[in-house]
Amino acid sequence: MYINILLSFLVGILIYTVPTLADQTYVVKSSTNWGIWQGWGTSLAWWGKVFGHRDDVSKIFFTTTSTTLNGQSIPGLGFNIVRYNAGACSYNTYQGAKMVNSTTIKPWRQMDGYWLDWASTSPTSSSWNWSLDANQRMAMTKARDNGANIFELFSNSPMWWMCKNHNPSGASDGSENIMASNLQQHAYYMATIAKYAITNWGITFASVEPFNEPSGNWWTANGKQEGCNMKVATQSTIINYLRTELNNQGLSSMKIAASDETSVDQSASTWLSLTTAAKNNVYRINVHGYQGTGGNRAAMYTLASSAGKVLWNSEYGENDATGVRLVTSLMLDLHRLHPTAWSYWQPLDAGGWGLIDANNDAATLGAVSQKYYAVAQFTRHIRQGMTILDGGSDTVVAALDSKNNKLIIVAVNLSGAQYLNFDLSGFSGVTNGATVPRWYTQLGSSGSRYVSSPSDTVISGMKFRSYFNTNVIQTFEVSLRAGTGGPTTTMMTTASSAMGSIPTTTMRNDGGTVAQFGQCGGKDWAGETVCVSPFTCKISNDFYSQCL
């Protein structure tokens, strides 16, 4: 008995003395300003073609209310950005020509296009069919009705008949597949859809993007989706044509985004190679996040900020349903790339790609992944109109909600279990002893999912701490006293040196009205500048002001 007690005592000592990670402290910097957050979003192709008619799906993605799915209550993600795909497919025959199908593409990845043949440019002629693509359009209008307020029109491929081989999946060898004679036709197609959407769908696209990963050599004739390689010189030409065609449609204030390359490094390379005229016609640089944790995000940010361009991560996706890869990459984006919006590619898909597992062939929905709840830790708290701040680490992001006097902190611990400390000494509005509501999710194949803990975390002085198990992401909402604790207007060094001093007024005053969160000013801004009541036009930087 004595020996057993002694052994138990010694084992207890050994267990107790196993070294643990030292606490980490992160200083949230109130003096940084990495831009006004425009929002979170998703592309509608392909899932919109299959599920666009479903009200529950729309509410799950575009509201923050809880919706029942397969008997389970799901907290909405609150996306507000919609990327609508201008399809490239049609199944008609004209003058003996018809679309060439890839042998591997699934029908739900073939998005219907509106311009059926080259007989007429008139959108009221029989060469156009505006009744097609009903489900994706329905997904867009349902999103709008549920609160989405930023819309982008983008293309994966020109219409099949604009392609050299009539195949909207790509060329046989992955080379450039758009016919030289159809560069302006493609621009006209995009501009015509944008104009039609205003009049007939009640949708005004904030921007038009004529490409999708155009430098990729994987867009081949037997590919599994629509795609089209385009040389950078071709991209420049189309961008300039698109500006002309939008202007011709009376859409001079509608912006152009480019080039949606697959990675930040390829995005930087393409941007540097565009002509000066094309760069001048691009309002926003869209990048994709398929480089994962790789790539020089800081260099891409410097390129965009020095050129005075808005920067989005307009497409991210991978097959890790645990959420670890997504959280790691997104944290790096927010801390180094500094986009003002982020969009997930396929929230409904199989094989770990979807936030919710989906069988698109059978049009059925399955389990909600841990990745879904990891996304919720960001999207339900960092909201449109907030200012993104430096959280002090690649694993911490902060956002200031000036309207509601809150500081949002999202942090992840991918190391051993430990306490994380958050230093808020840069904020004068912090109240000693105040509680800090928190929400947490266990990254992995199972575990806690967006669990609320409203009162167990308390500010001590100008700091608070919270215990993190391994692979846990937490979100905190710190209340600030009204009128205190906001960030200064100092930009990051790379941005301020390129942009110059921040103006105290907008650059124009044309007497129009702009809705909440809309752009209302900035260098070379040609649109309306007066906000609808009760919102005012607030400066983000030299090139962007927003109604808040």
**pLDDT tens sequence across 383-433:** 999 999 999 999 999 999 999 999 999 999 999 999 999 999 999 999 999
| pLDDT surpassing 70 at residue 512 | no
pLDDT in tens, 101-149: 999 999 999 999 999 999 999 999 999 999 999 999 999 999 999 999 9
| pLDDT of 400 | 98
| pLDDT of 203 | 98
- Nearest-5° Cα angle at 469, 339 to 441: 50
| Helix (H) or strand (E) run with residue 13 in it | helix 2-16
Q: Assign 501 a pLDDT band (cuts: 50, 70, 90).
A: very low
Describe the chain by its helix, strand, coil percentages, rounded to 5.
25, 25, 45
In this structure, whether the domain defined by 39-381 belongs to CATH 1.50.10.10 is answered with: no
| pLDDT of 522 | 62
| pLDDT surpassing 90 at residue 167 | yes
Q: Assign 491 a pLDDT band (cuts: 50, 70, 90).
A: very low
| pLDDT of 498 | 28
| pLDDT surpassing 70 at residue 508 | no
pLDDT in tens, 332-374: 999 999 999 999 999 999 999 999 999 999 999 999 999 999 9
Q: Stretch 492-497: mean pLDDT, rounded? A: 30
| pLDDT of 530 | 82
| pLDDT surpassing 50 at residue 43 | yes
| pLDDT of 115 | 99
pLDDT in tens, 446-459: 999 999 999 999 99
| In the block, residue with structure tokens 């010189």 | 233
**209 catalytic per annotation:** no
Q: Where are the domains of the chain?
A: 21-33+390-479, 39-381, 501-548
Q: Assign 221 a pLDDT band (cuts: 50, 70, 90).
A: very high
| pLDDT of 482 | 85
% of the chain at pLDDT higher than 90:
84
- DSSP, collapsed to helix, strand or coil, labels residue 323 as coil
| pLDDT of 525 | 53
Q: Stretch 36-58: mean pLDDT, rounded? A: 98
Secondary structure E strands in 143-298: 150-155, 207-209, 255-261, 284-288
| pLDDT surpassing 90 at residue 483 | no
Query: Tokens at residue 203, please?
Result: 């949708």
Min mean pLDDT across 155-159, 344-348, 536-540, 542-546 is at 542-546
Amino acid at 337: L
From the list 176, 213, 261, 528, the catalytic residue is: 213
| pLDDT of 280 | 99
| pLDDT of 533 | 74
Question: Looking at the domain 21-33+390-479, which fold is it?
Answer: Immunoglobulin-like (2.60.40)
The whole-chain average pLDDT of the chain stands at 90
**245 catalytic per annotation:** no
Q: Assign 531 a pLDDT band (cuts: 50, 70, 90).
A: confident
Q: Stretch 305-315: mean pLDDT, rounded? A: 98
Secondary structure E strands in 205-326: 207-209, 255-261, 284-288, 310-316
Q: Stretch 39-50: mean pLDDT, rounded? A: 98
Give the Cβ contact number of residue 401 at 10 Å. Answer: 20
From the list 176, 245, 261, 315, the catalytic residue is: 315
| pLDDT of 188 | 99
| pLDDT of 539 | 67
Q: Stretch 513-534: mean pLDDT, rounded? A: 66
Q: Stretch 215-242: mean pLDDT, rounded? A: 99
Q: Assign 278 a pLDDT band (cuts: 50, 70, 90).
A: very high
Q: Judge contact between 20 and 418, C-beta under 8 A.
A: yes
How many Cα atoms occupy the beta-carbon half-sphere of 16 within 13 Å? 6
Q: Judge contact between 235 and 279, C-beta under 8 A.
A: no
Distances (CA, A) of 459 to 64, 155, 390, 487: 27, 49, 20, 20
Strands 150-155 and 207-209: parallel
- Nearest-5° Cα angle at 84, 79 to 90: 150
DSSP conformational letter for 531: B
Radius of gyration of the chain (CA): 25
Q: Stretch 75-88: mean pLDDT, rounded? A: 99
